[in-house]
Amino acid sequence: MSDTLLIRGGTVVNADRETRADVLCVGGQIAAVGLDLDAPAGATVVDAGGQYVLPGGIDPHTHMQLPFMGTVTRDDFYSGTAAALAGGTTTILDFVIPDPKQPLMDAYRTWRGWAEKAASDYSFHVAITWWDESVHADMGTLVREEGVNSFKHFMAYKNAIMCDDETLVRSFRRALELGAMPTVHAENGELVFLLQQEMKAQGVLGPEGHPLSRPPAVEAEAAQRAIAIADVLNVPIYVVHVSCAESAEAIARARARGQRVFGEVLAGHLVVDDSVYRHPDFAFAAAHVMSPPFREKTHQEALWRGLQAGHLHTTATDHCTFCAQQKAAGLFDFSKIPNGTGGVEERLAVLWDAGVNTGRLTPSEFVAITSANAAKLFNLYPRKGLVAPGADADLVVWDPAASKTLSVATQHSLGDFNIFEGRTVTGAPSHTLSQGRVVFAQGDLRAERGAGRYLKRPPFGPQFTALGKKAALHAPTSVLR
């Protein structure tokens, strides 16, 4: 089979502009972008007339095959990445999450093994769940030898994977030294734990207790604390799944002061609200249990505004699927419901429909927040997140007129629920290309088990150069540097 493919007649959209152009792909990479390109002999031709050609989506926050809260997610690295490809996402950044006291390198090797079946390209953030000298050393090995350039810190999940402040400080400092981005799941785990006990003592045992034990102030406190620590240490910081106005404002304030803080928003938090937790059917309400929880509707507009204004940068899903039977572990105690929801397949369509079709986003802004910004922040750019010669031929031919109704009945994910159930969206991929190969065409998913590659991401992305200069200028003012 020829490794040459021409996408003809579309409008190429990058984060900076839209332009009418054909795209020639050879050997898994983009060879040319221009008007009226000739199709080489034997090339496959994809007709993109009336459609957009976008960089493949990058979901910077997924959990495939995650062992969590006593069970393991339904989607593994094959089914999860296949679902991603069906929705136009061609790269995922997943998480290695060591058990406390587990050597980082052990966990990393385990996750690398699990991910060998991935159908799309992938990379890993590594979570810092405990601290000693071996963690310090392994962070160095991961960055220098394994291409890991981001470390995750869970400020929630007390008595499990929660980081205390000492670990945050030590790990942020080490990340700075290594040129790696610290990221945080910002929820105050002590407060969550206390509020969970209080809810249960008051007899609130059902899923409605989940958002009550994790109010916006609990998220905002942690976001502000992490941002303040990062400021003192002069390290950039990326806040995952910003779900409420208070956290978005904390990021905006820090950015207005000149701090390099970056924020991620989940597709679910933009369109699903907290009324789901008050549904009388336990299975329905529990299927929405994820952290931070879905919020009152007013927060959604704050998140959209953050994306528009540029103080929130990426969109993700936190794809983490548990089925009804697994969720039933918390039938009599909401704090035992495994946290997680899906969405890797629906993210692009939901964002296009609720973002571009409503005028909240331009197509170029859509590209920025669905691929280009994540590629830049995690140092995959311009290999990913850009339609240009030399980039990987990970592309989506996006039909802005295609309409479909999102449903568990038609999804490719192995989860048994769809948080976007019944939502009719306009705008969907007609074709997805991964490494120059058509992996999804007009509803036909051709994902190949094991075809995905592990992506090494070099340290010292551009934000580190800027911070280095700033530190050199201001060094004497801080005793901590």
Q: Where along the sequence are the contacts to Zn ion (CB under 5 A)?
A: 318
Q: Judged by CB, which is closer to ligand URP: 69, or 428?
A: 69
- Select from 397, 419, 192 the least CA-distant residue to 291: 192
Asked if 264 touches ligand URP (CB under 6 A), the answer is: no
**340 scored as a contact of ligand URP (CB under 6 A):** yes
Between residue 51 and residue 90, which ones bind ligand URP under the rule CB under 6 A?
Answer: 63
End-to-end CA distance of the chain: 57
- Residue 373 interacting with ligand URP (CB under 6 A): no
Size of the site for ligand URP (CB under 6 A): 8
- CA–CA dist 374, 364 (Å, integer): 14
Out of 104, 261, 290, 439, point to the residue binding ligand URP (CB under 6 A).
Answer: 290
Q: Does 185 bind ligand URP (CB under 6 A)?
A: yes
By CB under 6 A, tell whether 243 contacts ligand URP.
no
Which CB, 219 or 318, lies closer to ligand URP?
Answer: 318
Question: By C-alpha distance, which of 258, 255, 256, 222 is closest to 241?
Answer: 222
Decide whether 63 or 255 has the Cβ nearer to ligand URP: 63
CB of 93 to Zn ion, least distance (A): 11
Nearest to 57, CA basis, from 303, 292, 387, 354:
387
The burial of 1, by beta-carbon neighbours within 10 Å (0-12 exposed, 13-18 middle, 19 or more buried), is given as exposed
Distance of CA 355 to the CA centre of its chain: 17
Residue nearest to Zn ion according to CB distances in the complex = 318
Residue 417: C-alpha distances to residues 51, 103, 285, 444, 468 (Å): 30, 35, 11, 21, 46
- Closer to ligand URP by CB, 31 or 191: give it: 191
Residue 327 is a binding residue for ligand URP (CB under 6 A): no
C-beta nearest to ligand URP: residue: 339
CA distance 352 to 70: 36
Smallest gap from residue 63 Cβ to ligand URP (A): 5
Shortest CB 290 distance to ligand URP, Å = 3
Neighbour count for residue 310 (Cβ, 10 Å): 13
For ligand URP, the closer CB: 254 or 316: 316
CB atoms within 10 A of CB 101: 10
User: Which residues within the stretch 130-169 sit at the binding site for ligand URP (CB under 6 A)?
Assistant: none
318 near ligand URP (CB under 6 A)? yes
313 lines the binding site for ligand URP (CB under 6 A): no
Which tokens go with 29?
A: 């990479």
Contact call for residues 430 and 397 (beta carbons, < 8 A): yes
Phi first, then psi, for residue 189 (nearest 5°) are -65, -30
| Shortest Cβ 103–Zn ion spacing (Å) | 22
Nearer to ligand URP, 320 or 372 (CB): 320
Q: Binding ligand URP by CB under 6 A: which of 107, 180, 312, 320?
A: 320
Binding site for ligand URP (CB under 6 A): 63, 185, 290-291, 318, 320, 339-340
